[in-house]
Amino acid sequence: MVQLLKSSIIFDVVYYCLHVCNIIAINTLNWLVANYAKNIMLLHCVYRIEDLLRRVILDVDSGIDDIIAILVALRSSNICIVGISTVNGNVNPNIGMSNVLKALEIENRLNIPVFQGARRSLRNRSQSSKMKIGREVSHGRRGLGNLVLDDKKMNELWNRITPDALKGTHNYSDFIEFILQKYPDDNISIIATGPLTNIATMVMKESESQQRIKEISIMGGLYRETGKPTGDIERSVEFNFYSDPEAAKIVLNAKHRFMIRIVGLNLTQNPKCSINKDLVKRICSTNGHGRSPSEASKFLSSLLDYKLERNTGLYLHDVLAVFMLEEPSLFRFVKGEVEILTNEGSERGLSVFKKDSAGQVLVAFCVNGSRFRHLLQGRLRCVGT
């Protein structure tokens, strides 16, 4: 309050002096402009801009689209990333940590804590060889296409910058408590773009402080507006939910505790969300606003080109989970309940949506494709600048 008063008085004195020296005249327009400037200045004095944004934790399995989602989220003017956790999925949490640190290094945001979470699914089951092959084809052996990071260097970096409280534990609840204590007055939201193992362990702990976690935005599953997916069931089982269906079930059953939004493959693989060669070229050539190729633009084009080489169109599934939290008006949501099948067999991990106006889960069924691409391009062209 004292700081506020001081700033206000200094501003008024400067304004009056400028008038006395005949530099500005005091009239209605000048007075309005000056007061607007004053209010903005005071707002900056009292709150840092990042304190006004929603605080968000990202939980990722560090494939190509997770890393792009991190870069997109870091460039948001609606949310502030306060921590990133890794989970076993596209890669293990240690390699996942290296990939995340690389993205943070490019954005000069190594002040964000990175936590290495669950190394196995709740049932400790390994992925089928078919899923492993699919995962490697989509993201490369280490999650970043053809890029290979220096493990020793990344582990040293992580050890140097990570608070001691986050070392020596893989328990996600420890990480959540650390973040909640760091921001004692704020609610926290989570964006989950990998298997839900970490989030499920948090849900099972049921601590009181978790009441400050208000919303979870999830990429997972595949949905029809009514009932079970039809056709090729194996192709309807999505990687994140397949990798840990028990965890997905636990999180979705906690719908009374958080607001849950989900986007599934039915939407992320919709042609409206496809990124073609031209858009990749535009993003990479304008990244850094057209200056000579920076480390950031080489990094981006390496990731995006890897995906494009293997597909006619490129889908950045996890980016939609970020936009779903910070730009929900991009989507049309349908309220209902989601059931995850955990029985053995080809349906294991399948997600079944039941429309219900009293339901507590919001599933995205439609997106404004042109706004999605526009936002994506705008964010990525700034990466590394």
Identify the CA nearest to 205 among candidates 172, 227, 229, 180: 172
State whether residue 170 is helix, strand or coil: coil
Nearer Cβ to Ca ion (55/317)? 317
By the 8 A CB rule, do 69 and 193 touch? yes
Give the shortest CB-262-to-Ca ion separation in angstroms.
14
Give the shortest CB-105-to-Ca ion separation in angstroms.
20
- The Cα 183–Cα 55 span in angstroms is 9
- Quick check: 66 binds Ca ion (CB under 5 A)? yes
Among 85, 86, 127, 193, binds Ca ion (CB under 5 A): 193
Please say whether the dihedral angle defined by the alpha carbons of residues 86, 89, 95 and 98, taken in this order, is positive or negative. negative
Mark out the alpha helices in 220-271 (DSSP H runs): 233-236, 239-243, 245-253, 265-268
Nearer Cβ to Ca ion (170/317)? 317
Nearer Cβ to Ca ion (180/306)? 306
Nearer Cβ to Ca ion (63/117)? 63
Give the shortest CB-13-to-Ca ion separation in angstroms.
54
- Quick check: 194 binds Ca ion (CB under 5 A)? yes
Nearer Cβ to Ca ion (215/318)? 318
- The Cα 245–Cα 138 span in angstroms is 21
Please list, in sequence order, all residues whose beta carbon lies within 8 angstroms of the beta carbon of residue 84, skipping any fewer than 6 positions away: 57, 58, 59, 60, 70, 100, 104, 112, 113, 114, 115
- Quick check: 297 binds Ca ion (CB under 5 A)? no
Please list, in sequence order, all residues whose beta carbon lies within 8 angstroms of the beta carbon of residue 142, skipping any fewer than 6 positions away: 91, 95, 99, 148, 149
Give the shortest CB-364-to-Ca ion separation in angstroms.
16
Stretch that binds Ca ion, among 13-21, 58-66, 207-215, 230-238 (CB under 5 A): 58-66
Give the shortest CB-240-to-Ca ion separation in angstroms.
6
Give the shortest CB-195-to-Ca ion separation in angstroms.
8
Q: Which residues bind Ca ion (CB under 5 A)?
A: 61, 63, 66, 193-194, 318
